[in-house]
Amino acid sequence: MNWWDAIVLGFVEGITEYLPVSSTGHLILSQRALGVPETTASNAYAICIQAGAILAVLGLYWKHVAQIGAGWFGKVGLGKGNEEGFRLGFNIIVAFLPAVVFGLLFDDWIEQKLFGLWPIVAAWFVGGAAILVVSLRRKKGGADLGKTLSDLTWQIALGIGFLQCLAMWPGTSRSLVTIVGGVLVGLRLAAAVEFSFLLGVLTLCAATVYKAREVGPIMIEEYGWMPMIVGSLAAWISAVIAVKWMVTYLQEHGMAIFGYYRVVLAAVVAGLLAAGYLVP
């Protein structure tokens, strides 16, 4: 992998990580298009490069992060307490736990069976259809109906956490299932987006650390440090841009555009695969 490949993959990761379109699916498609073969190292790179996108959200949502920190440190007497911050942090942990269990149980099976373009195409299509259905429901019900982050309970958080496990199928999109899941269990769209981003920080950190510890040495031996550093930097820059754009766009237009994009992308990639222009 050269520096140009790393920059392209970094920008693809950053742009797609928090949009409901599946960063893993886009990274695998981009790797195939760039001629990067499917190996343990390339699959690990698609996950570890998330580091840049994590930093982007930590910077953009530092007030929520500080609020959570104040809540938890206050509980152990290390600072001024913040009850709302403590509850938000607790709900994020609750939502994260199902992914820990299912991830440890099925990580190897998922990498062996689902890291291919045909399974990703199927996930893109199904996810796109789900977005369009939810968008229609939201249009009928009103944009401002539902709970805010302050109203979030651990039961709702746990439900979102179980839905997040669906995103272990590449192409599904963690942002998609957590945002749509949040709306379906009663959150306002804006609250569902914020919770998705904050939950993503913990989930992506855990996945990145786990994959780096497991196969990081293999990835570094095959690619070296340069692609990881350059790719993470590109992911950070593009994630900042994508998140700011997405929050503004969703408030004004909703999620339907992402549903149409996923369905069209699934059809195009399926056609290229069937014609032999892409390797599954």
- pLDDT tens profile 141-154: 555 567 888 888 99
Q: 197 pLDDT exceeds 60?
A: yes
Place of tokens 């790719």: 231
Asked, for residue 216, whether it belongs to a domain, the answer is: yes
How many CB atoms are located within 10 Å of the residue 157 CB? Answer: 23
Average pLDDT over residues 1-20: 92
What pLDDT is stored for residue 89 in this prediction? 92
Residue percentage of the chain with pLDDT more than 70? 94
Q: 17 pLDDT exceeds 60?
A: yes
What pLDDT is stored for residue 198 in this prediction? 92
Asked, for residue 88, whether it belongs to a domain, the answer is: yes
pTM for the model stands at 0.83
- Return the top range by mean pLDDT from 74-88, 123-137, 252-266: 252-266
| SS3 state of residue 155 | helix
Asked, for residue 123, whether it belongs to a domain, the answer is: yes
How many CB atoms are located within 10 Å of the residue 120 CB? Answer: 25
How many CB atoms are located within 10 Å of the residue 252 CB? Answer: 7
Q: 79 pLDDT exceeds 70?
A: no
Q: 32 pLDDT exceeds 80?
A: yes
Residue 207 CA: distances (Å) to CA of 50, 107, 130, 142, 214: 9, 10, 25, 35, 10
Nearest CA to 226 out of 66, 5, 18 is that of 5
Residue 271 CA: distances (Å) to CA of 29, 113, 280: 14, 21, 12
Mean pLDDT of the chain, nearest integer: 87
Contact 183, 193 (CB under 8 A): no
What pLDDT is stored for residue 114 in this prediction? 78
Q: Which of 75-84, 105-114, 154-163 has the lowest mean pLDDT?
A: 75-84
Asked, for residue 22, whether it belongs to a domain, the answer is: yes
Average pLDDT over residues 205-227: 89
Q: 90 pLDDT exceeds 90?
A: yes
Q: 269 pLDDT exceeds 60?
A: yes
Contact 182, 191 (CB under 8 A): yes
Number of domains observed in the structure of the chain: 1
Average pLDDT over residues 57-85: 79
Asked, for residue 280, whether it belongs to a domain, the answer is: no
Average pLDDT over residues 232-261: 90
Domain encompassing residue 172:
3-275
CA distance 159 to 180: 12
- For the chain, the distance separating the N- and C-terminal CA atoms, rounded to the nearest angstrom, is 20
